[in-house]
Amino acid sequence: MEKKLARRRRLVLVPAPAQGHINPMMQLAKALHLKENLPVSDLKNLGPGRFLIKLAKECYVSFKELLGQLLVNEEIACVIYDEFMYFVEAAVEEFKLRNVILSTTSATAFVCRFVMCKLYAKDGLAQLKEEELVPELYPIRYKDLPSSVFASVECSVELFKNTCYKGTASSVIINTVRCLEISSFEWLQRELDIPVYPIGPLHMAVSAPRTSLLEENESCIEWLNKQKPSSVIYISLGSFTMMETKEVLEMASGLDSSNQHFLWVIRPGSVSGSEISEEELLKKMVTTDRGYIVKWAPQKQVLAHSAVRAFWSHCGWNSTLESLGEGVPMICRPFTTDQKGNARYLECVWKVGIQVEGKLERSAVEKAVKRLMVDEEGEEMKRRALSLKEKLKDSVLAQGSSHNSLDDFIKTL
Ligand code: UDX
């Protein structure tokens, strides 16, 4: 009897070429692979992500060719692409393939991108009063909308229009949790009018392979092992954020006068306006043994360490979820785009963060660190953070909201 060979079905996942986008996409790949037993697609690092619009134009043709080649021998069940890799939608549309958007930022960030495009189309953004609240988006102010320090408003709006375009996508999966941002989730669901599945935090749902683009310095864990429980503030500004030399100096001085122990990640090339290298600069500044500095840390391990009490962060969405997932309250110093909205939610909605706004001065650093590490206010934030941690843990367990959402999504494949 002739046995018919089963054709392998593939999922194609397309991450944006940046650390904060690759991590959740790899985690999703693992989650789907575990449940569906599909081979994890080859994921390719497409290079630096600063020129997303250009990238989209250039990748469209080669991606379409690649799909065409794959389709000769394979059945493609679905293409899941990062919202910023929107060129994928146009390419798969021609092959009539099922496609799904993965949003690696928060639901609120997605909503904010929509709103920013609408406001821009109506009267432009120039006349809006920065401090005022955006109607129906409490607590987001106009200044918290995801404008970028790396691009003009026109460029951001062009990009956002594309990322918000659902095209032929059959659904959107988001690395968030229903209970964290229910109103944004519902707004999005109404606006998009296709199923939206909040399935995060993905890093808590599965232990995905390590995806770090930079080498993690494990020595900081040994240093943390020597510290007292709940005594260290961890400082990291993600993979993009830049600091001026004078800000770094104010920060170091504020940390010094706060008398707290700290673990600080300073990426090579992340300090601008410095005549000397970061390493030399830091040797000069940090003379105390209360501080430890690395170029890149195993962040999830650091946040899970019992010595870590608080996180000074730029509030990238992954850092936010990783901190919430470990019950670590935050000092929020957003730098650009969605980080501003995340910081607002941390401070005003979840009430587990303190935002430091305006010029970074040593006194402000000292004050914020003490509020979180020493004061009763910080204790309350810690308690709230721990309670949120439990909610997030529950969401990815059997019958949890994100667990169910992932199952619902898988049923559609
Ligand atoms: C980018 C955007 O800047 C951010 O606003 C958006 O939400 C996601 O994409 P990034 O700035 O790198 O991300 O920040 P974040 O989202 O926090 O992601 C950083 C990732 O790098 C996290 O998963 C974090 O665990 C990891 N990391 C960071 C390390 O592994 N080691 C470090 O030392 C610092």
Q: Which atom of ligand 1 is nearest to the CA of 294?
A: 33
Q: What is the pLDDT of residue 46?
A: 33
Residue 182 or 17, more confident:
182
Q: Which atom of ligand 1 is nearest to the CA of 267?
A: 33
pTM (whole model) above 0.85? yes
The alpha carbon of 176 and the centre of ligand 1 are apart by a number of angstroms equal to 15
Kindly report which listed range (127-131, 139-143, 266-270, 301-305) carries the lowest average pLDDT score: 266-270
Residue 49: band (very low, low, confident or very high) from pLDDT cuts 50, 70, 90: very low
* pLDDT higher than threshold 70 for residue 5: no
Three-state DSSP state, 47: coil
* pLDDT higher than threshold 70 for residue 44: no
Residue nearest to atom 34 of ligand 1 (CA): 238
Average confidence (pLDDT) over 374-399: 98
Q: What is the pLDDT of residue 387?
A: 98
Distance CA 127, CA 129 (A): 6
Q: Is the CB of 23 under 6 A from ligand 1?
A: yes
What residue type is assigned to position 301 of the chain? Q
* pLDDT higher than threshold 50 for residue 97: yes
Show the tokens assigned to 167: 């095209």
The alpha carbon of 18 and the centre of ligand 1 are apart by a number of angstroms equal to 9
Q: Is the CB of 13 under 6 A from ligand 1?
A: no
* pLDDT higher than threshold 50 for residue 41: no
* pLDDT higher than threshold 70 for residue 285: no
pLDDT in tens, 62-77: 788 878 888 888 888 8
Question: Closest by alpha carbon to 240, among 214, 278, 203, 276?
Answer: 214
Average confidence (pLDDT) over 277-301: 80
Percent of the chain whose predicted confidence (pLDDT) is above 90: 66
Kindly report which listed range (19-28, 299-308, 321-330, 331-340) carries the lowest average pLDDT score: 19-28
How many Cβ atoms from other residues are within 10 Å of residue 245's Cβ? 15
Per-residue CA distances from 220 to 254, 255, 262, 272, 295 (Å): 21, 18, 11, 25, 10
What residue type is assigned to position 331 of the chain? I
Q: What is the pLDDT of residue 21?
A: 78
Residue to probe by mutation, ligand 1, list 224, 236, 239, 292, most atoms within 8 Å of CB: 239
Kindly report which listed range (17-26, 137-146, 240-249, 339-348) carries the lowest average pLDDT score: 17-26
pLDDT in tens, 197-224: 999 999 999 886 777 778 899 999 999 9
Distance CA 405, CA 71 (A): 29
Q: Which atom of ligand 1 is nearest to the CA of 337?
A: 5
Percent of the chain whose predicted confidence (pLDDT) is above 70: 88
